[in-house]
Amino acid sequence: MGDDDSLFTVTSAHLNTGLRGIPVGTCRTSFVTPTEGVHYCGYPIAELAHLAPEDVVYLLFNKELPTPEQAEAFRADLAKRGTVPNSLAAVFHTLPNDGHPMDWLSVGIHTLGMMETTGDWKEDALNLIARMPRLMGLLFRIREGRLDNIPEDDVNGSMVQRFVRTLDLDGVDHDLMEKILATYLVLHMDHGGGNLSTFTGKAIASGHATVYASIAGAMNALSGPLHGRANQSCLEFVLRIGTSDPDEVEAFVRGELAAKRPVFGFGHAVLRAEDPRATVQFALGEELCPDDENFKIIRTLREVAPRVLSENEKISNPNANVDIASGALLHHVGFTDPTYYTTFFGWARVAGIGAQIIDERTVMRGGKGTPIYRPKYIAEGQSLRHLE
């Protein structure tokens, strides 16, 4: 790619399209193709799905998978960084219990930033990643009012173990929960440079705001129902559908479209085939919970909705996206309140956004970093005028 190569021709038709397809930079952590989906540092996501989240974080930061020795050293480094100050819990105690968990997540990340920003991009990103499992566990416990006997954090546990231990739910299969969560984290860590939350986080960091402020802002971007919160909305409507009967599911989808509401879990700005992250989760569900009622409903939705959505030519991609299946799996292992689902997406995405912020701040332009974001907008409806 030479400096003068033309990559894309912008016409008036591209204005007000959410920068769709317009190249704005390079990304070193992942790329997304319309038919094969996301690849982390070259690896198709399906090949990484069974790996430990820590190894995939290492990949996003170092662009190579770790050797066993590197993996051990990386886990030890995360353990050293893992302790969360008690004052985070004190702030959580002041938040409204009916506030959305994504707002709690954003406030939690901001709060950590107020307590312990170093100003070094990589240090701050790694510190935040290491503290996320406990932050997430405390978020659930305190928001739900389960305040007694919160287990001490064992920073030597895996990311997922630390969260599951802090949560300490009775009557659930902890091994199954850990397996589902580990796969969930790996699948959701990164999705190219231009997804809304990552783009937002990098844009904030381009003005040299802190990693914590940038990622808290990214979480706010993720909280929208057309982006990360689609996983909550999708499971909510699975619960509303309440049957895997194809005719009833079809009637439901048609009803949502007629009411001009999105069919959550379907469609994508870049993908033009089923999202491989959905395919992986469907395969996991077939293995672990084929008879789960919610799983049966999303199995029917996966068949019915693309056919119905295809009837509308303006919908570029009628196929299932990442958010179709995660809710059913999370519900199956004991997370029965969908309002929490997007916090798992956010937890995972901290790794990809953190790695991309480091690349943009310390690697791009020969190490000078990408300059402050400042795209051009063209004036509309504003002819020059003066006060009388």
195 in contact with ligand MLT (CB under 6 A): yes
The least distance separating ligand MLT from the CB of residue 153, rounded to whole angstroms, comes to: 29
Residue 39 vs 268, nearer CB to ligand NMX: 268
- Is residue 188 part of the annotated active site? The answer reads no
Please state at what angle helix 53-62 crosses helix 121-143, rounded to 10 degrees. 150
Stretch touching ligand NMX by CB under 6 A, among 177-185, 208-216, 223-231, 287-295: 223-231
Q: Distance between CA 70 and CA 215 in Å, rounded?
A: 26
Residue 141 vs 188, nearer CB to ligand MLT: 188
Stretch touching ligand NMX by CB under 6 A, among 39-47, 139-147, 277-285, 309-317: 309-317
Residue nearest to ligand MLT (CB): 195
The one catalytic residue in 323, 331, 332, 359 is: 323
Stretch touching ligand MLT by CB under 6 A, among 112-120, 131-139, 191-199, 336-344: 191-199
39 in contact with ligand MLT (CB under 6 A): no
Q: Distance between CA 27 and CA 114 in Å, rounded?
A: 29
- The DSSP line for 62-112 is HSSPPPHHHHHHHHHHHHHH-PPPHHHHHHHTTS-TTS-HHHHHHHHHHHH
Q: Distance between CA 100 and CA 84 in Å, rounded?
A: 22
Residue 25 exposed, middle or buried by CB count within 10 Å (0-12, 13-18, 19+): middle
- The DSSP line for 276-325 is HHHHHHHHHHHHH-TT-HHHHHHHHHHHHHHHHHHTSTT-S--SB-TTTT
In the chain, the amino acid numbered 186 is V
266 in contact with ligand NMX (CB under 6 A): yes
321 in contact with ligand NMX (CB under 6 A): yes
In the stretch 263-282, what mask flags binding to ligand MLT with x, by CB under 6 A? -----xxx------------
**For binding to ligand MLT (CB under 6 A), which residues are involved?**
191-192, 195, 268-270, 321-322
* Catalytic sites, residue numbers: 227, 268, 323
